[in-house]
Amino acid sequence: MEAEKEYTGMPRIGDKAPEFKAVTTQGDIDFPNDYKGDWVILFSHPADFTPVCTSEFMTFASMEDKFLNANCKLVGLSIDGLYSHIAWLRSIKDKIEYKGMKNVEVKFPLIEDITMEVAKKYGMLQPNEDSTKAVRAVFVIDPEGIIRAIIYYPLSLGRNFDELYRVVIALQTADAFGVATPADWRPGDDVIVGPAGSCGTAEDRMQGKEDMECKDWYFCTKKLDKDIVLKRVLKK
């Protein structure tokens, strides 16, 4: 039972991101201390030289500048050695073309985790899926080192990277403006205002005395201009 817990335990939303030091394709890192002040996506993949992972790394690398412009850095991990990582990333750059992407250079760090230490800390190993390969885990970590979102995919399912970017922008928007974001929210869409804290506030909202639209006392939205959102969350 103890061995099973070691594999399946995982941090939760709101927890401090577990700390670790590791060797990567971009040098040694001390995580998350090296990333204070930045948002981070820490993600795992099952193995080097596998096709789904290759498509994912090409997509992430092609979108890296977009994430960096949103103050979000990328850090990858698999249970493979450093030299395997380097050889695989060179192969991607030299040989692989996918959806019009080619000569793609992966510049963000890819962690060597042959001891599985980091994968175990983050619950990236799911024994019922595979006991020796990390599933496709995604941890979105804020500038204070707090885990804000967790998304898990099985080995066979490639991730939606537009959604990962949307998550980062939505979390930053919620923090910056004190709102929530509804289903399928994109910058420029209406945002959700938190429920009224008193009967008086609820009545004021329903009578249109506040700058929002209420369908009922608990469901109120307001406009939030796209340019205002992007000006706040994106770098100049």
Tell me which of 158, 186, 209 is where a domain ends: 158
CATH number at residue 41: 3.40.30.10
Determine whether 229 is exposed, middle or buried from the number of CB atoms within 10 Å of its CB (0-12, 13-18, 19+): buried
User: From edge to edge, which strands make up the β-sheet containing 191-193?
Assistant: 191-193, 219-222, 213-216
Annotated binding residue 136: yes
Helix pair angle (161-177, 51-69), 10° resolution: 30
Residue 55 has pLDDT above 50, yes or no: yes
220 part of the active site:
no
For residue 184, give its domain range: 178-233
Helix (H) or strand (E) holding 60: helix 51-69
| pLDDT at position 202 | 58
Tell me which of 129, 158, 187 is where a domain ends: 158
| pLDDT level of residue 218 (50, 70, 90 thresholds) | confident
| pLDDT level of residue 3 (50, 70, 90 thresholds) | very low
In a shared domain, residues 110 and 7: yes
H runs (alpha helix) in 104-160: 117-121
In a shared domain, residues 50 and 19: yes
Which candidate, 187, 195, 189, places its Cα nearest to that of 214? 195
| pLDDT at position 196 | 57
CATH number at residue 198: 3.30.1020.10
In a shared domain, residues 126 and 188: no
In a shared domain, residues 190 and 73: no
Q: Please indicate, yes or no, if residue 163 is contained in any of the structural domains.
A: no
| pLDDT level of residue 1 (50, 70, 90 thresholds) | very low
- In the chain, the number of structural domains is 2
pLDDT digits (tens, 9 = 90+) for 57-89: 999 999 999 999 999 999 999 999 999 999 999
Q: Please indicate, yes or no, if residue 152 is contained in any of the structural domains.
A: yes
Q: What is the mean pLDDT of residues 20-47?
A: 97
pTM as predicted: 0.90
- Residue 150, phi then psi, degrees to nearest 5: -135, 130
Tell me which of 158, 188, 211 is where a domain ends: 158
Task: Quote the percentage of the chain above a pLDDT of 90.
Answer: 77
Q: Please indicate, yes or no, if residue 173 is contained in any of the structural domains.
A: no
Six-digit token string for 42 = 């820490």
pLDDT digits (tens, 9 = 90+) for 118-144: 999 999 988 777 767 888 999 999 999
In a shared domain, residues 153 and 71: yes
Strand (E) positions, 87-223? 110-112, 136-141, 147-153, 191-193, 213-216, 219-222
In a shared domain, residues 47 and 103: yes
3-state secondary structure of 136: strand
Chain centroid to CA 95: 28
| pLDDT level of residue 206 (50, 70, 90 thresholds) | low
In a shared domain, residues 106 and 217: no
Q: Please indicate, yes or no, if residue 208 is contained in any of the structural domains.
A: yes
